[in-house]
């Protein structure tokens, strides 16, 4: 939400160091791309991957993405959701990662740092070209959860996290096209994903 000062800064910068601009150094901070009004990719927040790379959600455009939120120490719901993702994965064409991706965002950014996310990837065997693991600051994480319709917070009992479960399919421009709040409709979810992948091929 710093577009004006950033633009001013960019203008000033451009005047002095035009050549640097060509390197793309400022590209993420230049004038925002336009997305549909209902696109989650309008969010300007910055995220960190398990490889320690910075990312804006807009960087995920171009492919349909299945989002879910999780945390490393989650014992019950998250492993079930992950099992569902792997099941979906097994039913997609073998080169599906070229046309879609799964995005897992931690709802426990305090404990799941990049190293923790990397450990989670290894432990659960998630391919880097298929699964994007993200961590944001607590406020941006909450904001994304609001947009995804996921509620969470510290548990009253055991220091864990209470949360709702949802898997949200976004089209290549970041608009929600399907939400699954339970594991009930596996077939419907798979069909939606397949058709999103087919659409994205055009």
Q: How far is the CB of 13 from another protein (least distance, A)?
A: 11
- Is residue 119 helix, strand or coil? helix
**Which pair of tokens denotes residue 198?**
């087919």
Q: How far is the CB of 91 from another protein (least distance, A)?
A: 26
Is residue 13 near another protein by the rule CB under 8 A?
A: no
7 belongs to the binding site for another protein (CB under 8 A): no
Q: What are the C-alpha distances in Å from 182 to residues 71, 82, 161?
A: 18, 13, 18
> 1 vs 19, which CB is nearer to another protein?
1
Tell me, rounded to whole angstroms, the distance of Cα 117 from its chain centroid: 13
Q: Of these, 142, 172, 173, 179, which contacts another protein (CB under 8 A)?
A: 142
Residues found in the chain: 202
26-85 binders of another protein (CB under 8 A): 37-40, 42
Nearest-CA neighbor of 131 among 146, 121, 145? 121
Stretch in the footprint of another protein (CB under 8 A) among 49-57, 88-96, 115-123, 152-160: 152-160
Name which of 119, 141, 127 is nearest 48 in CA terms.
Answer: 141
DSSP-assigned beta bridge partners for residue 153? 162
Q: Contact positions toward another protein, by CB under 8 A?
A: 1-5, 8, 11-12, 15, 37-40, 42, 138-139, 142-143, 146-147, 151-153, 155-157, 162-165, 181
């Amino acid at each position: 939400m710093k577009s004006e000062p950033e633009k001013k800064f960019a203008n000033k910068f451009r005047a002095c160091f035009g050549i640097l601009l060509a390197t793309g150094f400022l590209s993420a901070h230049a004038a925002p791309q336009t997305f549909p009004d209902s696109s989650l990719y309008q969010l300007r927040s910055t995220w960190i991957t398990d490889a320690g790379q910075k990312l804006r959600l807009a960087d995920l455009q171009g492919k349909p993405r299945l989002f879910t939120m999780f945390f490393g120490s989650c014992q019950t719901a998250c492993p079930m959701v992950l099992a569902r993702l792997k099941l979906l994965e097994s039913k997609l064409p073998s080169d599906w990662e070229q046309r879609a991706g799964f995005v897992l965002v931690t709802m426990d950014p305090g404990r799941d740092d990049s190293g923790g996310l990397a450990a989670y990837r290894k432990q659960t065997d998630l391919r880097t070209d298929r699964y994007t693991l993200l961590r944001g600051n607590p406020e941006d994480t909450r904001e994304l959860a609001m947009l995804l319709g996921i509620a969470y917070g510290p548990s009253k009992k055991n220091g864990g996290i209470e949360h709702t479960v949802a898997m949200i399919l976004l089209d290549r421009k970041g608009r929600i096209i399907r939400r699954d709040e339970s594991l009930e409709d596996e077939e419907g979810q798979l069909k939606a994903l397949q058709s999103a992948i087919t659409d994205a091929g055009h």
